Structure 1
Amino acid sequence: MKATPLARVLLSPSVILMACCVYGYIAFTIYLSFTDSTLMPSYEWAGARSYSRLLASENWSVSVGNLATFASLYIGIAMALGLGLAIMIDQKIRAESALRSIFLYPMALSFIVTGTAWKWLLDPGVGLEQSLQRLGWQQFHFGWIKDSDMAIYCVVIAAVWQTCGFVMAMFLAGLRGVDGEQINAARVDGAPPWQIYLRIVIPQLLPVFVSSFVILAHMAIKSYDLVIALTNGGPGRSTWLPSVFMYQYTFTRNEMAIGAASAVLMLLAISVVVVPYLYSEMKKAQHA
């Protein structure tokens, strides 16, 4: 169906703004990554020098390592908890609507709010440790947020808390679409519940697994506000992610070219996850 002239006129401002403010700035960032820009943009071509400096940077290696730890735990735990909660709620339990709302509520909060709340909760001086010690648990200690070896796991906890309810909703929708005749036939044959889920239900949830993985992976790669609110990248560099590295080098250390190069690599990482998914969905839509 062709767009009418009126529709084109109404849509053109949005298209122009998107082209300039999204794709235009993406192109500008890519160009800056091939310059020697520092505090201010420089437009002289410098080749891949900033990428060489980026890949040789210890801070970048630390950030990528932290991302690998954070993303693997975050995606794995959020998907496992989301699936478990969805299976629990799918058992026709009472107050299903209330439980769905409770589990989904964290997703309504911004990552800044989540990070601030969990910072207070995990702070040994005012949070969980202090509260339990006042109740008589004097030997209880939980200072992960102050420990450079454990702080990244605090970020994982906060991120999982915020998004596992959303993953639960996706899996719950998938469970409600599973073929009930196959399940009834398996029950008649005497199959135990765990075999029904393992051999019938979960294989039919493969599209939900893929969708939730793509969503969680791109959220992990671009995570910034949660880290800043919760740990501010510390202690030291223990919770630096590529997004924190990009901000630090662009706006604090006045290394705009290196910051732009890190942003380009983050964009490529997100594209590796998202583009194949979008391509497969477009092919499905065309065949349908």
Structure 2
Amino acid sequence: MTHFSGGPSFISTLICVLGILLPSIECHCPHMMGLKAPGPPSGPSPPGKFPDGDEGWDYDETAAPGIVPEPHFIQSTYIYRSPNVQEKTFSSRVVTVLKDIRSRLEKSARLTLENENIECSSPTDHYRCQEYPSTGTWNYLIVEDQQKGAATYTFDRKYNEKNDGTIEMALLDAFSRHSPSSLIAFASPEAEKEVGYIRALTVQEMDSLSGKNRHRQISMEKFGSNELNLLEPALLEVRTGSGLKLTSDSLRRIDSSKEFDKLLDEYKNVFILFWTSSEFF
């Protein structure tokens, strides 16, 4: 066991040493050195956070940078007749999926989708129900946009009732036909591996739905359905009509496609084997 002892002389010496060392101790704190506290950062401020639940209309972790969808507007109507429980359940699922698609496409694809749901249990439920059969089961989606006009699509329950992802892919298929680009890329993870079945009605089918027997006018074809596929562009020699010497009064020079169309309208039975104006290629 060690004992520490010291007399008055030792204590005096210790006090003297401390008196010499204390004045030489310096404080390096910023406020003691005359330094100003750092202020707010200069330059542009960082972007703020999106509100809770909002990831931004162009949010896509897998998308290439700089690709921005063009804003677009589509109007649609889901009109259906569900006479039994199975069909009512299916149409209810379609309404739910349409609501989900509408909000997702508005945020991610800059697509404004205005949709209306019409149930036709009887022809008097809605004025548009009179345009469709008053019996049976049917599901129609009418899609309209400014560029491509309106089209009516049909999709049956038996082909799309597998799950909601199948319904979603069928609807996205129809909307993609009226959009500047495909909307399949904006499918939900549950739907991206599914296949939906939807089909556009022909004019004849639309007439049969409304009970009309519209007289079909015979249309004139400038080209047949196959001859253009038989032509090999690499073997064609394109020439202009400039400098051509007319050797017969029956020959007529056609300077524009508008004039060409007018001649075809005047003379129904005309067959053009070759023409030499590069405007038509």
TM-score normalized by the length of structure 2: 0.20
Bigger relative contact order (CA 8 A; separation at least 6): 1
More strand by share: 2
Q: Which is greater in Rg? A: 2
Q: TM-score, normalised by structure 1?
A: 0.19
